[in-house]
């Protein structure tokens, strides 16, 4: 009997350590057990990630949140960012920043940068519907490291971002009821930390398929304390994204898992979250129905009260789990 148990454990270890060969195919992945997983970089390409890769502490210490760059876009400069430097008030006064406007902050994920496509899509969506200050956070200095190192850097990136928002508000004015933070994948956890660093004062925090690998028991993950109203949109739950609820309201379009309509793999399903959000800001047409439990959400069997998914409305409030169906192509 003991031999059978040992053999079973060996087989499980081998399965968890097996290197998957098909880019983007995460059908092998078992949460908490598998060592390898395919993840998209900032340009949509799949990269193989070793979840047991050692942390690069030298890089982590040298490329921490102090390296964050803050790019401001407004209707006066929708395509060419103005850089605001934390602690340098002149960079605010010499920019198009207007304190009375809503403040939208967008944070990319692993291997991304300020130039990643999701930033342009969401920025242009916000500016299309309202006159706002949109700040894209570029944390590529750390996001470009191995995934495990980037995960360990999330607290620093988020804390520096939170302190930047406090400084910006104290220096240039404005109200917290206009502050909306949006983050994709690892960026979702970064805005979670930033919101808590700012005392939970941001009126709205949106997590777009918050990263799953190495986050199931991570105390730095996005949660309901990150803002007044926290919303999470799950599109690749159990693989590249967290499936369990992490906000006041959690949305599970098409069951919240791979494969999303129009996608062929986990990477596409993961990235679908930011596409859906960009569309929702422009059109606000995704209507979720309240679910009785997580199983109903996964099977899209929800028929309760309604709450729209996404959009940029800062007065939005809701709680619970919501299911809905989307299309496979823009605007979904």
218-263 confidence digits (pLDDT tens): 999 999 999 999 999 999 999 999 999 999 999 999 999 999 999 9
pLDDT single digits (tens) 64-110 = 999 999 999 999 999 999 999 999 999 999 999 999 999 999 999 99
What share of the chain in percent tops pLDDT 70? 94
Q: What angle do CA 165, 237, 119 make, to 5 degrees?
A: 40
Say how far apart CA 286 and CA 304 lie, in whole Å.
15
* Phi, psi angles (nearest 5°) of residue 169: -65, -40
- What is the predicted pLDDT for the residue at 22? 86
Question: 161 by DSSP, 3-state: which?
Answer: helix
pLDDT single digits (tens) 158-216 = 999 999 999 999 999 999 999 999 999 999 999 999 999 999 999 999 999 999 999 98
Which residues are marked as active site?
185, 209, 270
- What is the predicted pLDDT for the residue at 141? 92
- What is the predicted pLDDT for the residue at 24? 83
From 40, 17, 43, select the one nearest 28 (Cα to Cα). 17
- What is the predicted pLDDT for the residue at 9? 36
Instruction: Give the model's confidence band at 16: pLDDT under 50 very low, under 70 low, under 90 confident, else very high.
Output: low
Q: Are 210 and 246 in contact (CB under 8 A)?
A: yes
Which numeric CATH code is attached to 17-324?
Answer: 3.40.50.1820
Please provide the average confidence, as pLDDT, over all residues in the chain.
Answer: 93
| Segments making up each domain of the chain, as ranges | 17-324
Instruction: Give the model's confidence band at 6: pLDDT under 50 very low, under 70 low, under 90 confident, else very high.
Output: very low
pLDDT single digits (tens) 303-322 = 999 999 999 999 999 999 99
Mean pLDDT over 33-56 rounds to 90
Instruction: Give the model's confidence band at 12: pLDDT under 50 very low, under 70 low, under 90 confident, else very high.
Output: very low
Of 14-18, 44-48, 213-217, 280-284, least confident by mean pLDDT is 14-18
């Amino acid at each position: 009997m003991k031999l059978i148990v040992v053999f079973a454990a060996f087989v499980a270890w081998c399965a968890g350590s097996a290197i998957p060969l098909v880019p983007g195919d995460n059908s092998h992945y078992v949460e908490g057990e598998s060592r390898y997983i395919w993840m998209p970089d900032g340009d949509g390409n799949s990269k193989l990630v070793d979840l047991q890769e050692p942390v690069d502490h030298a890089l982590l210490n040298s490329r921490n949140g102090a390296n964050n760059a803050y790019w401001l876009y407004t209707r006066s400069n929708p395509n060419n960012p103005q850089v605001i430097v934390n602690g340098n008030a002149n960079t605010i006064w010499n920019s198009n920043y207007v304190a009375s406007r809503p403040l939208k902050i967008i944070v990319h994920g692993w291997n991304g940068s300020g130039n990643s496509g999701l930033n342009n899509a969401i920025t242009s969506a916000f500016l299309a519907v309202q006159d706002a200050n949109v700040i894209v956070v570029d944390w590529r200095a750390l996001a470009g490291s191995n995934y495990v190192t980037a995960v360990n850097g999330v607290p620093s990136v988020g804390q520096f971002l939170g302190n930047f928002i406090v400084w910006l508000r104290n220096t240039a004015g404005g109200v917290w009821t206009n502050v909306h933070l949006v983050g994709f994948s690892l960026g979702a956890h970064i805005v979670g930390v930033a919101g808590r660093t700012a005392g939970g004062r941001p009126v709205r925090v949106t997590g777009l398929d918050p990263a799953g690998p190495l986050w199931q028991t991570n105390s730095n993950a996005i949660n309901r304390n990150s803002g007044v109203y926290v919303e999470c949109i799950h599109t690749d739950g159990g693989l590249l994204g967290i499936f369990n609820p992490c906000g006041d309201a959690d949305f599970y379009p098409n069951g919240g898992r791979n494969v999303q309509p129009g996608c062929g793999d986990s990477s596409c399903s993961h990235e679908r979250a930011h596409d859906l959000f960009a569309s929702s800001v422009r059109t606000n047409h995704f209507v979720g129905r309240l679910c009785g439990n997580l199983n109903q959400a996964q099977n899209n069997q929800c028929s309760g009260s309604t709450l729209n998914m996404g959009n940029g409305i800062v007065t939005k409030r809701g709680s619970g789990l919501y299911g809905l169906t989307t299309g496979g192509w823009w605007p979904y």
